[in-house]
Structure formats: structure tokens, C-alpha cells
């Protein structure tokens, strides 16, 4: 389990102790947000692939999409590339994925 915190891109990828210092749970920040809302296939995947190249290994990327096909597409993309889908959720027609570069 990974706790994801939005914030500045400092210290991306390095597991950090939580503020209280008791938990050893790694705390990671989102390095980049890809806003693919409104875009049709295959642009959400393509924009994500472009963005993930620019972050380091282990860094997190958050993707927002409205394409209903993206749920299965991101799962397939993750299997093919080895980049993990840490979170997949939807709210009010917007799909949110948190991906981690391998």
C-alpha cells in the first residue's frame, strides 16, 4: 500500500517516512498530472506515454480521463509496459488513474 500525496515534485520516487515518523509506509508524491479529459482513444494513452518518459523510475503520474474505454486500456497498457496502475477510480464520469513508472 502506498500513500499518495499531492504536492510539489520534490523527492519524487524516494520513499519517505510519514510526518509522525511512526509508519514505515512510503509516502509518494504525484510528479505530473495528465489531463486527458474529453480526449478520445488513443490520446489518453499516448499523452500518458509521453508524460511518463519525462519522469524518473518510481515516479507517480496521475491521469484524468473521460473516455470509458480508458479503464481497460490503462490495464492493458500497464501489462504491456510494466508500469503499475496503483489506483483506478471514477467519480462523476471522470476516471482517475495513479500510475507508477517502473
Give the residue numbers annotated as catalytic, written as ranges.
41
* Pick 26 or 66: Cβ nearer another protein: 66
Using CB under 8 A, count the residues that bind another protein: 15
In angstroms, how far apart are the furthest CA atoms of the chain?
Answer: 44
**Span near another protein by CB under 8 A; candidates 5-13, 14-22, 38-46, 85-93:** 38-46
41: contact with another protein by CB under 8 A: yes
Question: Residue 74 burial (CB < 10 Å; 0-12/13-18/19+)?
Answer: buried
73 to 15, 17, 44: CA distances (angstroms) = 28, 33, 9
The reply on whether position 38 binds another protein by CB under 8 A is yes
Residue in 16, 18, 23, 40 binding another protein, rule: CB under 8 A: 40
- C-alpha cell of residue 60: 507517480
Q: Which stretch binds another protein (CB under 8 A): 15-23, 27-35, 43-51, 85-93?
A: 43-51
DSSP label of 59: -
8 Å CB contact between 100 and 58: yes
The residue ranges that bind another protein (CB under 8 A) are 38-43, 45-46, 48-50, 76-77, 80-81
Amino acid at each position: 500500500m502506498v500513500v499518495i500525496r499531492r504536492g510539489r515534485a520534490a523527492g519524487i520516487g524516494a520513499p519517505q517516512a510519514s510526518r509522525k515518523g511512526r509508519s514505515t509506509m512510503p509516502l509518494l508524491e504525484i510528479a505530473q498530472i495528465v489531463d486527458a479529459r474529453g480526449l478520445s482513444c488513443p490520446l489518453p494513452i499516448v499523452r500518458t506515454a509521453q508524460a511518463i518518459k519525462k519522469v524518473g523510475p518510481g515516479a507517480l503520474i496521475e491521469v484524468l480521463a473521460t473516455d470509458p474505454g480508458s479503464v481497460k486500456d490503462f490495464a492493458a497498457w500497464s501489462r504491456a509496459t510494466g508500469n503499475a496502475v496503483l489506483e483506478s477510480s471514477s467519480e462523476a464520469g471522470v476516471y482517475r488513474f495513479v500510475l507508477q513508472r517502473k
